Amino acid sequence: MSRLLISASLIAALTTSVFAQQQRFAQPPPSSGDVAVPAGARADMPRMYEERVILDRATVRAKLAEARASNLARFRAYQMAGVFPSNTFDARKLNVWRDADGHLCAAATIINGTGMTDLVKRVADQNNFIRLADVKQGPLMDWILMSGFTQDEISAIQEPYMPVYREQPVVEPDLKSAENTRLIKKYKQVDAMIVKNQKKSLELAVDRLMKHQDLAWKLVNG
């Protein structure tokens, strides 16, 4: 074989090798899309894939169902205790997170029972007449998303209070008694609504939490 042919063969071989390497390195790593994994598996996943990993829906649903059951039990304990805030702040029906005697509303009591004592106190100090129906973001919204309740349900639990005073901001026993009777009846209706809508509301809660994977992981691993 002539030197010319040998040189041409070497050049062709080198060119083919370089081209193959370029092709190999130019290709992006294979992607399998979002990967659903069960609880507890995240620690075994390489960090480079962490953002691609999503929780299995059934795992999230199970945890939300547990949270929903626990929070419903807290709501029922609140009803049984029969100690409700008194609206001595406004002559109109009003959401009262914490009254002048330190009594918490139903929603605040449930949240407090999950260990969020600092959050409950901060809300009372900064926005005591808050309406949970109006909350869009922040720690209260995070809690709602992980509660197992829908925002409509927790808003219904947060029933506003009728005033229990006439001229001075002092509780009038007859007005307070009438308001307690109204609240007990109202809470029973809300409780029945929550039970009736269990399946539908839980699926809606799962849908919403799955859009916030950081909160979903927090609920599952908490």
* pLDDT tens-digit series, residues 56-99: 999 999 999 999 999 999 999 999 999 999 999 999 999 999 99
- Average pLDDT of the chain, as a whole number: 84
**What is residue 7's predicted lDDT score, i.e. its pLDDT?**
43
pLDDT band at 55 (very low <50, low <70, confident <90, very high): confident
pLDDT band at 10 (very low <50, low <70, confident <90, very high): very low
Beta bridge partners of 87: 163
Q: Average pLDDT for residues 143-163, to the nearest whole number?
A: 98
Q: Which two tokens stand for residue 9?
A: 């063969």
152 closest CA partner among 188, 190, 179, 96: 190
Portion of the chain with pLDDT greater than 70, in percent: 76
More reliable by pLDDT, 48 or 56: 56
pLDDT exceeds cutoff 60 at 128: yes
Q: What is the rounded distance in angstroms from the CA atom of residue 137 to the CA atom of residue 178?
A: 35
Q: Which two tokens stand for residue 150?
A: 């829908």
Helix and strand element counts for the chain (H, E): 9, 2
pLDDT exceeds cutoff 60 at 157: yes
DSSP for 116-164 reads -HHHHHHHHHH-TT--GGG--SSHHHHHHHHSSS-HHHHHHHS--B-B-
**What is residue 144's predicted lDDT score, i.e. its pLDDT?**
98
Q: What is the rounded distance in angstroms from the CA atom of residue 107 to the CA atom of residue 146?
A: 14
pLDDT band at 106 (very low <50, low <70, confident <90, very high): very high
**What is residue 222's predicted lDDT score, i.e. its pLDDT?**
83
**What is residue 52's predicted lDDT score, i.e. its pLDDT?**
46
157 closest CA partner among 103, 87, 97: 97
Q: Dihedrals φ, ψ of 35, to 5°?
A: -110, 125
pLDDT exceeds cutoff 60 at 8: no
pTM of the model: 0.77
* pLDDT tens-digit series, residues 204-215: 999 999 999 999
Q: Sort strands 53-55 and 35-37 into parallel, antiparallel or unpaired.
A: parallel
pLDDT band at 23 (very low <50, low <70, confident <90, very high): very low
Q: Average pLDDT for residues 118-141, to the nearest whole number?
A: 98
**What is residue 38's predicted lDDT score, i.e. its pLDDT?**
52
